[in-house]
Homo-oligomer: A and B are copies of this chain.
Amino acid sequence: MKIIDIKTFQRVDFINITGEIEKIINDSKVDNGLVCLFVPHTTASLTLNENADPSVKNDIKSKLENLIPKNDNYTHAEGNSDSHLKSSIFGASLTLIISRGRPVLGTWQGIYYCEFDGPRNRKLYIKIIKDNDSI
């Protein structure tokens, strides 16, 4: 398992980590298999979404905030219940296919590390499973 550090800069921040994941898979020399990406935090997540026009990311962030605002009738004293819910909605685990030494992604897909209670220093865990039945 590999562990990498991710730095986030805003309370809600989506960091494109596609390049880091491609490099780790390339370095592993695994040509075919699966990669499981895992966020060991309860107010962060992973998602796949548009890598081109940044307005998509901004619309996603603002609509999420509109549905699940930071301040609402929450009881948790830390003031980040919205972040916990957003984390469960987007999910902390993401499995991708590895083919020809690369994570399989569509043309417009980027892998995003989603911060919902930043800025913080975060971790990402990466586990690659080689498919021994493929040549």
Contacts and interface: CB of A to CB of B under 8 A. Distances in A.
Interface of A: 1, 32-34, 36, 38-42, 47-50, 53, 55-56, 58-60, 62-64, 67-68, 72-78, 81-82, 84-85, 87-97, 99, 104-109, 123, 125, 127, 129-133
Nearest to A134: B1
Nearest to A45: B88
With a 10 A CB-CB cut-off, give which of A104, A105, A107 has the most chain B CB atoms.
A104
Contact of A67 (B34, B56, B67, B78): B67
Copies of chain A in the complex: 3
A55 B36 contact: no
B81 A60 contact: yes
A104 B38 contact: yes
Given A47-B88, A59-B81, A60-B85, 20 more contacts: A1-B99, A36-B95, A40-B109, A42-B48, A42-B56, A48-B87, A49-B84, A49-B87, A55-B76, A56-B81, A63-B74, A63-B85, A89-B89, A89-B90, A93-B94, A93-B95, A95-B95, A99-B127, A130-B133, A132-B133
Contact of A84 (B34, B60, B130, B131): B60
Nearest to A106: B40
